[in-house]
Structure 1
Amino acid sequence: MFLNLYQKSSTTLQILLHLNIVYTLFWEVIEIICFVFKRYNLIYPTNAFGIELSMTFLLILNEFVRQFFGIKGNLTQRVSLLIIFLIFNACCALGFVFFLIWQSYVQRVEIILSSIALLFILTETIFTIVTIIRLKIITKDLTVQQKIDKIKEARDKFQQTKND
């Protein structure tokens, strides 16, 4: 019933992670369409097409594992899971940089989509670091009486602002 005054998980990070799930699915569909277009209109070096196409699926798998650790670590407020999430961030960022720069043929739509994915990863990394800091700094647990006093204080302040 009462709002937890000492919630340490990040709501912004959680929203970003859920938006990123939808964006990742969108990215994969568009990337497959781009590969079909490139396959029929461009000449690929030997084995490059298969390797690059399989890398999209590996990147998506890595991306969903990364998002799982981020969501789970944020909701359970476990620093170890958030650190694993940061490691997966680096791997996924490297994968998106591959599709941004290093693949055989890069189209404008891929540049835009991979840049947006990298922006998601960057902002999630920043909010994860902030969340880890919050989890480490705010370690003092209040006693039951201190929590009751804080709730009464918050209720009194609310009543004062309501009466004004």
Structure 2
Amino acid sequence: MGSNCKINTSLTFEVLLYLNSYYFGLFAICEIGMNIVKYINFSDELGHFPTDFGVLISLCILEIFRIIIARRGNLTEKNLLIILAVLLTIPSVVGVLYLMIWQSEVLRFEYIICAIQLGLCLIEIVTGILCLFPCCKTPEYY
């Protein structure tokens, strides 16, 4: 006798997107603030500051766009928008990895908030892909 316990992946995906929309706002404010402080305090040592700041601003624009598309696709159950959002998560993950590892000067707090953002993105990829499978859809009762 098998268990008939199903997870509502659409709801899980929506909760993660909702959480990430608020967390990313906090993440972006902290990252921009830390980049400004690093520029003021370490201006002689930061030769790659324009690149680092450019990656951060690009990541902010991409992540806002991705969250909007993912939420719209999830709420309207349009698989094409969910696929696009999952694909846009890949450059977002690369941007977070850049800020976490390859940036010229990485602070410990920056490493922690990047790790949390990376974890949210990876869980969103998994739940976004699960939303696409018909076996994970919630049944509709009429």
Structure 1 residues 57 and 138, CA gap change in structure 2 (3 angstroms)? closer
- Seq. identity, %: 27
1:21 counterpart SS class: helix
Q: Partners of 1:50 and 1:33 in 2: how far apart?
A: 15
Q: Partners of 1:99 and 1:74 in 2: how far apart?
A: 28
Q: Partners of 2:129 and 2:28 in 1: how far apart?
A: 27
Select the residue among 44, 47, 61 that pairs with 2:46. Answer: 44
Corresponding residue for residue 16 of structure 1: 16
Question: 8 Å contact 2:130–2:136 — kept in the other structure?
Answer: no
* TM-score relative to the length of structure 2: 0.85
Corresponding residue for residue 91 of structure 2: 91
* TM-score relative to the length of structure 1: 0.74
Return the structure number with greater relative CO, CA threshold 8 A, min gap 6.
2
Shift of 1:41: 1.9
Where structure 1 has 5 or more consecutive residues not aligned to the other structure, the ranges are: 1-7, 149-164
Structure 1 residues 41 and 138, CA gap change in structure 2 (3 angstroms)? closer
Q: Partners of 1:79 and 1:9 in 2: how far apart?
A: 13
Q: Partners of 2:9 and 2:32 in 1: how far apart?
A: 35
Shift of 1:26: 0.5
C-alpha RMSD over aligned residues: 2.0
Output the amino acid matched with 1:55: V
